Structures are given as C-alpha cells and as structure tokens.
C-alpha cells in the first residue's frame, strides 16, 4: 500500500520559535499533499492543499504567513509553523495523493507542544 | 457547505456484538473512503468505494455505498477490542478536489 511518513513524530518548543514538519510519500509520487490539524476527540480540519511546484491553497481562516507550506518535490512537503504560540499546540497530520486519484493516504501525525 | 454526518458519534459495546456506523450527506460523491484512526496516530485507509450500491468486505467489516452515492455504512460483525478507534468517512468529488470528512464515530469495544 501507499506509505506516508512524517517527521518529527512529536516536538516541544518554546513560544516564539519556528517548527518545521516534513511529510514524505515513500513509495509513490504525490502530486498533491494536504495538511490537517486535529483537536482532541474531533475530526480532521483541513488547513491547506499543496500541489508540487506551486503555491499552497489555504482554507479560510488559516494564516498563510504563519503556516508556511512548501511542496518542492513529488515526495516531500513541509509545514513550518512560524513564531509558534501555545494555541498552535495540536496534532498535525499530512496526507498525500497521487495523480488522478481521490484517495488520500495519511502520515502518522506530528504532535506539537508549544510552551 | 458540504457536510458528512456520521452516526452514532460514540458507541461503546462489548466484544462479540455487531454494530453499524452511518455516513450521510445531501451531496453526491464520486468516491467514499473509510478510515480508522487510533489515538496519537494518523488515519489508516480501510476501503474506497466508487460505485452506487457497491458492497465491499474486509474480514469482519462490510462497507456499502448508497445507490445515489450520498451515503455509506460500515457494519462490523463480532467486534473485537482491536476494532476500537475513531472511524471517519470521507467523500471525494473528483481527482482535483479535496475530501470532505465526516464528523467521526468513536468506537470502544470492551472485553
């Protein structure tokens, strides 16, 4: 099956610092990657969609200058949380999708704690 | 706003019981995915259905896509503690679109 990895799996940082999360598709080319945020006991909330080589499309209410997304290759997308604050603490999950597919394959998630 | 409503929101049953989770919408979808998510992990794909009326079986799990492609169900036979988790349905509307996720059903199976 399609495998997606995320790194790191968890991170603790001080308020005001930036954190980068990597999402990799290991055995397929991901033309599109998605970044989600999940609050405890809730469903997934889509933050942004990124297509390889182009700018990400952010969902309404998501600050593009705070959550920087780069999708420079068909196997790697990164999410950078800039100037992180405690309210940014959450579970961040990426997913990847190949060309002409609707099914998304998810990474294992990254838990971010901002102190 | 596209919505996928799942019911029930929470279900606690004993090992060996059967259960059905529903995923309903007023919108038509070209595909419907079911995922299971365990605490602290990402969702894992269980099945994708694409044809109205389609039924797929995965061991003790049976998935059905409604004839009109607006709803879906997941039936688990003889539930086991390992089935515990958050079940999410997600509808797709073409390869260029994002998925619409359901509200989720949290299942707890006890011994």
pLDDT given for residue B2 in this prediction: 54
Chain B residues in contact with A43 (beta carbon < 8 A): 88, 101-104
CA distance A15 to chain B (A): 23
Averaged confidence pLDDT in chain A: 94
Q: Select from A44, A115, A7 the least CA-distant residue to B35.
A: A44
pLDDT given for residue B38 in this prediction: 94
pLDDT given for residue B96 in this prediction: 80
What distance in Å separates the CA atoms of residue B79 and residue B62, rounded to the nearest whole number? 12
**Residue A41 scores a pLDDT above 90:** no
pLDDT given for residue B6 in this prediction: 96
Question: Which tokens hold the place of B98?
Answer: 């994002």
Cα B29–B30–B35 angle (5° rounding)?
75
CB atoms within 10 A of CB B25: 20
pLDDT given for residue A33 in this prediction: 95
Cα dihedral: B62, B77, A104, B22 (round 10): 80
User: Which residue stretches of chain B have pLDDT < 70?
Assistant: 1-2
**Residue A99 scores a pLDDT above 90:** no
Instruction: Say if the Cβ atoms of A102 and B98 lie within 8 Å.
Output: no
B40, B42, B99, best to mutate vs chain A, most A CBs in 10 Å: B42
Q: Is B48 on the interface with A (CB under 8 A)?
A: yes
Which tens digits make up the pLDDT trace of A73-90? Answer: 999 999 999 999 999 999
């Amino acid at each position: 099956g399609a495998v997606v990895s995320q790194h790191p799996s968890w991170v603790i940082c001080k308020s005001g610092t930036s954190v980068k999360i990597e999402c990799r598709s290991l055995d397929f080319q991901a033309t599109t990657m998605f970044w989600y945020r999940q609050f405890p006991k809730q469903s997934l909330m889509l933050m942004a969609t990124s297509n390889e080589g182009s700018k990400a499309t952010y969902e309404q209410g998501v600050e593009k200058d705070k959550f920087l997304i780069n999708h420079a290759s068909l196997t790697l997308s990164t999410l950078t949380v800039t100037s992180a604050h405690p309210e940014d603490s959450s579970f961040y999950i990426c997913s990847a999708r190949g060309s002409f597919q609707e099914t998304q394959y998810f990474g294992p998630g990254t838990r971010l704690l901002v102190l | 706003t596209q919505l996928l409503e799942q019911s029930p929101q929470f279900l606690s049953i004993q090992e060996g019981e059967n259960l059905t989770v529903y995923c309903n919408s007023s919108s038509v979808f070209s595909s419907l995915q079911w995922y299971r998510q365990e605490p602290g992990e990402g969702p894992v794909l269980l099945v994708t259905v694409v044809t109205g009326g389609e039924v797929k079986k995965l061991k003790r799990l049976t998935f059905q896509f409604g004839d009109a492609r607006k709803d879906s169900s997941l039936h688990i036979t003889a539930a086991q503690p390992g089935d515990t988790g958050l079940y999410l349905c997600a509808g797709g509307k073409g390869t260029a679109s994002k998925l619409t996720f359901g509200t989720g059903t949290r299942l707890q199976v006890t011994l």
